[in-house]
Amino acid sequence: MAWNPQQYLKFSGHRLRPAVDLLMRIADIEPRRVADLGAGAGNVTKLLRERWSDAEVVGVEGSPEMVAAGRKAAPDVEWQQQDLASWNPAGQYDLIYSNAALHWLPDHTRLFPSLLGKLSPGGTLAVQMPRNFLAPSHVLIGETALNGPWRSKVEHLVTPPPVEAPSFYHDLLAPLSDHVDIWETEYLQVLEGDNPVKEWTKGTWLTRYLDVLQGSEKAAFEAAYGERVAKAYPKNAAGQTLFPFRRLFMVAQRKP
């Protein structure tokens, strides 16, 4: 999928907040090696760098556009352009942090225990993933995909939500961890501008669909989704759009 750092960062304040909330829940540790998985445009990795200024911090990121943005935002971080599906680092990390990225990877039953295995004993895994896939913002993308001339090109993308319930992650992590803290937060995001929920998903989930379409068909798909989503999230009297967004957080310490 082609990531566009400018589109993604249009809502940087709202997108940064859960990253900071996750960071704040990490205990007072002194890691020597820190990895930020799916590090994106580097604005979050920069905060990891600032908090643990003596640590070796690595930003692992698959998109060349994001890596380029990350190198500018956080030049004193080691950037690795790498698919997380095949990330197999030499040596263990003391902190593996990932904000809004692991929902792009399949097979969480295998992925999460494998990430714990890449930590040093007592090391920390801290993850946030969106869990908003059953909200109109996301359901309407699938609905648009299945109801238009583009159907045969995009229907394979209409898949079950990639993030499971909190208890699923608890059951995976608890046997391998000393302590697991899992919680959800639904942020009531107040957005400004014209059809901002479309602009939001255009920076992330909608891109999967737009990427496989071309020219006028791509524009027609975006317009058809835009019409649906604008109705689902009408402006309030103040001209703002309220966009509730649920996110799942977890912090686990690998057993020593």
Within 13 Å of residue 115, how many CA atoms lie on the same side as its CB?
Answer: 28
User: Residue 151 CB, nearest distance to ligand SAM (Å)?
Assistant: 25
Tell me the closest approach of the beta carbon of residue 186 to ligand SAM, in angstroms: 18
Residue number with CB closer to ligand SAM (150 or 202): 202
The residue number with the shortest CB distance to ligand SAM is 40
Query: Can you tell me the distance from the alpha carbon of 29 to that of 125, in angstroms, rounded to the nearest whole number?
Result: 12
**Minimum CB distance to ligand SAM, residue 179 (Å):** 24
Question: Shortest CA distance to 126 belongs to which of 168, 182, 172?
Answer: 182
Closest CB to ligand SAM among residues 150, 249: 249
Considering the complex, what minimum distance in angstroms separates the CB of residue 101 from ligand SAM? 4
- If the CB atoms of residues 21 and 217 are measured against ligand SAM, the closer one turns out to be 21
Of 44 and 58, the one with the shorter C-beta distance to ligand SAM is 44
Cβ-based nearer residue to ligand SAM, 27 or 85: 85
Q: Considering the complex, what minimum distance in angstroms separates the CB of residue 79 from ligand SAM?
A: 12
Report the interface residues with ligand SAM, using CB under 6 A.
3, 15, 19, 38-40, 44, 61-63, 66, 83-85, 99-101, 104-105, 204
